[in-house]
């Protein structure tokens, strides 16, 4: 039977302003892909990212180029060969996983998880601001795991302010490529002084060779420097961990491959996200079972989420129910 394809752009307002080193946003705009067959519909969501040369229009166009092959029944492995890694392939790949689950009445978790999936403690994001603003955010969140957005001047003061405001929280620091060789070691020392658990992408991708030459008083995680398993040989001696995002790997299929190969190399694994809805987080929750760090709070940053959405409670995110995804 011929499959159908529907692609649409959707926007979800953010609660307040989400600010990182590269700028601020007040809404999450996503691309939703729906693939239908024999009365079943599989869904996937992606977040095009300008940092990687993507736009809403380019991602929609990229998905549309696959319309014929989707209609003919392309599978996930063939999709890996036909589309490059990125947001467009992520939406299609996740829609195919969901479609298979709904057509066969077999849960995705049964196919990708070694054990029944459990709720996961997810980081809660402290958006970039003044030290005082970030301390206030940290006090309001006060969860067991906070992710601090930095990457500007005087980050040591921001780190100290958040640590003082949330003394019982474990901290991840995300510089979003905002540090440089001049302030790198000073910022690493400041992070070590407050027992930061992990630092994400301190230097710009492609300008991070120095990470192989200096001590790491805090483990350093590759984000923008790593997209797929093919990048591991290049970064494995520079970083201690990898941040796996489905919009970078091009879907759950590629993300599983990256996760498993990273573990073989002795790298810690973080599963992260762009700012999207529960539909984007659902496959990542399954991927993140057993991960060292989980950062899947995207829907918590929104004024409204999809219905039904994932359940978030007590800093935990629960696995998706089948009517939502998978």
pLDDT per residue over 93-146, tens digit each?
Answer: 999 999 999 999 999 999 999 999 999 999 999 999 999 999 999 998 879 999
Query: Do the Cβ atoms of 85 and 248 come closer than 8 Å?
Result: yes
pLDDT confidence bin for 24, thresholds 50/70/90: low
Structure confidence at residue 61 (pLDDT): 98
pLDDT confidence bin for 57, thresholds 50/70/90: very high
Percentage, residues of the chain above pLDDT 70: 98
Environment class of 246 (CB within 10 Å of its CB; exposed 0-12, middle 13-18, buried 19+): buried
pLDDT over 90 (residue 159): yes
In sequence order, the 6+-apart residues with CB closer than 8 A to the CB of 231 are 222, 225
Q: DSSP letter at 83?
A: S
Query: Rounded distance, CA 279 to CA 41, Å?
Result: 14
Q: Is 245 a catalytic residue?
A: yes
Determine the topology of domain 112-317 in CATH: TIM Barrel (3.20.20)
Once rounded to an integer, what is the mean pLDDT over residues 232-242?
98
pLDDT tens digits for 265-277? Answer: 999 999 999 999 9
Once rounded to an integer, what is the mean pLDDT over residues 14-26?
75
pLDDT confidence bin for 21, thresholds 50/70/90: low
Boundaries of every domain in the chain? 4-106, 112-317
Query: Rounded distance, CA 81 to CA 76, Å?
Result: 9
Q: Is 8 a catalytic residue?
A: no
Catalytic residue among 102, 236, 245, 248: 245
pLDDT confidence bin for 189, thresholds 50/70/90: very high
Catalytic residue among 147, 149, 236, 248: 149
DSSP bridge partners of 243: 270
pLDDT over 90 (residue 30): yes
pLDDT confidence bin for 230, thresholds 50/70/90: very high
**What are the CA-CA distances from residue 314 to residues 119, 267, 281 (Å)?**
10, 28, 17
Structure confidence at residue 25 (pLDDT): 79
Structure confidence at residue 22 (pLDDT): 65
**What are the CA-CA distances from residue 192 to residues 46, 157, 281 (Å)?**
35, 13, 30
Read off the pTM: 0.95
DSSP bridge partners of 68: none
What homologous superfamily does CATH list for 4-106?
Enolase-like, N-terminal domain (3.30.390.10)
The angle formed by the CA atoms of residues 226, 269 and 33, to the nearest 5 degrees, is 65
pLDDT confidence bin for 15, thresholds 50/70/90: confident
Structure confidence at residue 16 (pLDDT): 74
């Amino acid at each position: 039977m011929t499959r159908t394809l529907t692609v649409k752009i959707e926007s979800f307002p953010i609660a307040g302003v989400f600010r990182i080193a590269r700028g601020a946003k007040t809404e999450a705009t996503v691309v939703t892909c729906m693939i239908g067959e024999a009365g079943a519909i599989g869904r996937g969501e992606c977040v095009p990212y300008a940092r990687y040369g993507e736009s809403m229009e380019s991602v929609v166009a990229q998905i549309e180029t696959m319309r014929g092959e989707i209609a003919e029944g392309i599978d996930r492995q063939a999709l890996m060969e036909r589309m490059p890694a990125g947001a467009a392939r992520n939406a299609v790949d996740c829609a195919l996983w969901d479609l298979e689950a709904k057509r066969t009445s077999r849960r995705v978790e049964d196919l990708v998880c070694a054990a029944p999936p459990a709720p996961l403690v997810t980081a809660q994001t402290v958006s970039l601001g003044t030290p005082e603003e970030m301390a206030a955010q940290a006090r309001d969140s006060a969860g067991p795991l906070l992710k601090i957005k930095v990457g500007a001047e005087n980050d040591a003061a921001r780190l100290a302010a958040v640590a003082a405001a949330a003394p019982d929280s474990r901290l991840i620091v995300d510089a979003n490529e905002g540090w440089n060789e001049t302030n790198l070691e000073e910022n690493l020392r400041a992070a070590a002084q407050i027992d930061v658990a992990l630092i994400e992408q301190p230097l710009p991708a492609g300008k991070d060779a120095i990470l192989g030459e200096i001590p790491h008083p805090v483990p350093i995680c590759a984000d923008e420097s790593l997209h797929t398993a093919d990048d591991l040989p290049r970064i494995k001696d520079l970083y201690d961990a990898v941040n796996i995002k489905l919009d970078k790997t091009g879907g759950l299929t590629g993300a599983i491959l990256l996760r498993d190969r990273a573990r073989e190399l002795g790298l810690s694994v973080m599963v992260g996200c762009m700012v999207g809805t529960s539909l984007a987080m659902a496959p990542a929750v399954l991927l993140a079972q057993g991960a060292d760090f989980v950062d899947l709070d995207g829907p918590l940053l929104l004024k409204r989420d999809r219905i039904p959405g994932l359940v978030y409670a007590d800093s935990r995110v629960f696995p998706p129910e089948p009517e939502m995804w998978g």
